Chains A and B, each alone.
Chain A
Amino acid sequence: MGARTRRGWRKVINGVNFSAFVVVLFIGLPLYWLIISSFKTPPALGNSPPQYWPNPWSGANYAQAFNQYDFGQYFINSVIVTIVATALVLIFGTLAGYALGRLPMRGKFTLMVTLLIISLFPEIALIAPLYTLLKDLGWLNSYQALIIPYTAFNLPFAIWILRNYMLGIPKEMEETARVDGAGPLRTVWSVILPMALPGVFTAGIFCFTACWTEFLMALTFNINLKTIPVGVATFGTALEVPYGTIFAASVVAVVPIGILAFIFRKNIISGLTSGAVKG
């Protein structure tokens, strides 16, 4: 009896599970700190030694983020910019990925390498000229000031993922569609797209995350139309950093990504296994 339980325990406490536990701690502890800190009362945030468990629990930081600061508006701005840019990237990226992966175009290789090199360029190298350009167009502090650059910066990577994914789709599929008399756009929409969905999900998650978290361009172009990163960075004054408000806003900002991550947690790997890594 005793021996059996011990063996049973050994099944649970093995090297793999122990390591997984360590990983959970490594990732989870800072997240734990972020979440519980957002529920401390503002004075308790400055306690030394710190409270390891909020006492009492308080929603004051959340009220502060939405009332004293315009966090609701920042959130809406982020959602608009991110969703529109991601949709554009997926539409244009799917079409270009299909063309580069499956259609006989001259100079495809040069094009792919050019795209790769463009995607390597650090943002800082492009920020000043883009700023001047947007200023001349009168587009500073507008949604398009972020949507257009975000679309352009995320397209090359999305095209790479999608193109690699499309290479793996059997060619008979679209030939059947062609014989049935479907036009090219229709073929992409009803034959290729459903088969490429895992790749589209992966490209979409990467793009969504990149737009949702982008800071440098949002700070430079849209200081009066703040997205969440800029809003959070500019909370408070030079003398006082209102950590509670920042963390409350942060928890709210993590929610959409958390939901996406939970829904697509299995698709990420399958999208990557037939996608980016192959090329």
Chain B
Amino acid sequence: MASISTPIERAPASRGLAGRPDVNRRRMARLGWGFSAPALIIVIAVTIFPIVYSVVLSLSNVTVSGNGITLGGATGSNYVQVVKNSTWQYALGFTIIYTIITVLVELVLGTLIALVLQRLVAGRGWMMALLLIPWSMITVINAELWQYIYEGTYGVAGALLGLHDILGNPLQAIIGLMIADIWKTTPFVAIIVLAGLVMLPGDIYEAAEVDGSSGWSTFWRITVPLLRPTLAIAVLFRVLQAFGLFDLPFVMTNGGPGTSTTSLAILGYKAIFQNLDFGTGAAVATTTALLVLIGCLISLRGFKVQVGKEGM
């Protein structure tokens, strides 16, 4: 593998510290596996088994009885049933559109906030602390807070905007969810982007200024391209989270009104734990996981980032 040459093993060989670099390297490699073992064991035990089990479930005839679940023969019917189901199709469309819109808005707003913070002379530490609060707030609490704001009779949105049935109206409920999400998550994007901005080399900006580049074109021609890996990471994280959307609609709307805010995760959860339909639930879960993987690959592609290429 390309990873054999790392700085650490080159050093003793070149200095001749240990007479036999090969033995030394093998010892270090063993040490590396020893150090990684606890982490790897716990990650594999908790995730690989469920992933495999979930795929097996999704491909089986599952019957649930009082003393657990039994697997029948292999079948693709769970997937067929899921894909043909109009609720699933709606949930898929809703989740995709929700993800695209919230991530785009958060990216734009987050970048703007990061640019402001970068230029802010006084009070930057306080702003950081303020930004950390919504991001680290329990999503359930965020959901209850906005539910109270949107409440029909005594909500502040009703008093100020005259909207008295936000969570009873499908379109308004969706927009309401998005606003709550954007409020909570834009600070996260801003923090990540600010970290990227701080790292940009200052001399490029001086050169641009000497060349008479305007602020706007400096931003598009220098800042955005240099920031691309940072933006990619922010997008990757957000796409992942948004695609697994669960807590917010579960508490705020319970997927309603009707099924208008039913995300894929809510659909999967209800199939498994309310209808006890483990096969379908597993099929919903597995397709969601696959779509997440594809979505992440696409967004990384879009940002032209190759995972793990640097520093490997």
B-binding residues in A (CB < 8 A):
16-17, 19-20, 23-24, 26-28, 30-31, 33-34, 37, 45-50, 88, 91-93, 95-96, 98-100, 102-113, 115-118, 120-130, 132-133, 148-149, 151-153, 155-156, 159, 164, 167, 171, 175, 179, 184, 188, 205, 209, 212-213, 215-216, 220, 228-230, 232-233, 241, 243, 246-247, 250, 253-254, 257-258, 260-262, 265-266, 268-269, 272-273, 276-279
Contacts and interface: CB of A to CB of B under 8 A. Distances in A.
A223 B134 CA distance: 26
B31 A250 contact: no
A16 B32 contact: no
Contacts of B137: 213, 250, 254, 257
Interface of B: 1-4, 6-9, 11-12, 17, 25, 28-29, 31-36, 38-40, 42-43, 45-51, 53-54, 57, 68-69, 112-113, 116-117, 119-121, 123, 125-141, 144-149, 153-156, 158-159, 183, 187, 191-192, 194-196, 198-199, 229-230, 233, 240, 243-244, 246-247, 250-251, 264-265, 268-269, 272-273, 278, 281-282, 284-286, 288-289, 292-293, 296, 307-308, 310-312
B3 A106 contact: yes
B140 A127 contact: no
Nearest to A163: B311
Nearest to A126: B50
Given A132-B69, A209-B135, A277 B195 contact: yes
Contacts of B158: 48
Contacts of A47: 154
A5 B119 CA distance: 23
Nearest to B112: A19
Contact of B282 (A113, A128, A268, A278): A128
A109 B1 contact: yes
Contacts of B198: 269, 273
B308 A104 contact: no
A129 B57 contact: yes
Given A23-B116, A122-B265, A278 B311 contact: yes
Contact of A128 (B113, B281, B312): B281
A150 to B, nearest CB: 9
A-B residue pairs, 10 tightest by C-beta: A152-B46, A103-B32, A261-B132, A272-B195, A129-B50, A99-B32, A96-B39, A99-B35, A129-B53, A122-B244
B69 A246 contact: no
A167 B69 CA distance: 47
24 contacts: A20-B116, A50-B154, A95-B35, A103-B28, A103-B31, A104-B29, A105-B3, A106-B4, A107-B1, A123-B246, A124-B244, A125-B50, A126-B51, A127-B285, A129-B49, A151-B42, A156-B43, A159-B39, A215-B139, A215-B250, A229-B138, A258-B129, A265-B129, A268-B195
Contact of A152 (B45, B148, B233, B285): B45
A131 B159 CA distance: 44
Given A48-B159, A213-B137, A277-B192, A243 B148 contact: yes
A214 B168 CA distance: 27
A45 B130 CA distance: 26
Chain A binding surface, main DSSP class: helix
A106 B29 contact: yes
Given A118-B47, A233-B140, A268-B191, A92 B32 contact: no
Contacts, number: 325
Contact of A232 (B135, B141, B192, B246): B141
Contacts of B284: 124
Given A103-B35, A109-B312, A124-B268, 13 more contacts: A20-B127, A30-B134, A48-B159, A102-B8, A105-B32, A121-B292, A122-B244, A125-B286, A152-B46, A241-B147, A261-B133, A277-B196, A277-B233
A107 to B, nearest CB: 6
A16 B229 CA distance: 26
B134 A104 contact: no
Given A95-B35, A120-B240, A266 B146 contact: no
Contacts of B265: 122-124, 216
B117 A20 contact: yes
Contacts of B289: 121-122, 125
A122 B285 contact: yes
A107 B194 CA distance: 33
Contacts of A34: 141, 145
A99 B33 contact: yes
B1 A216 contact: no
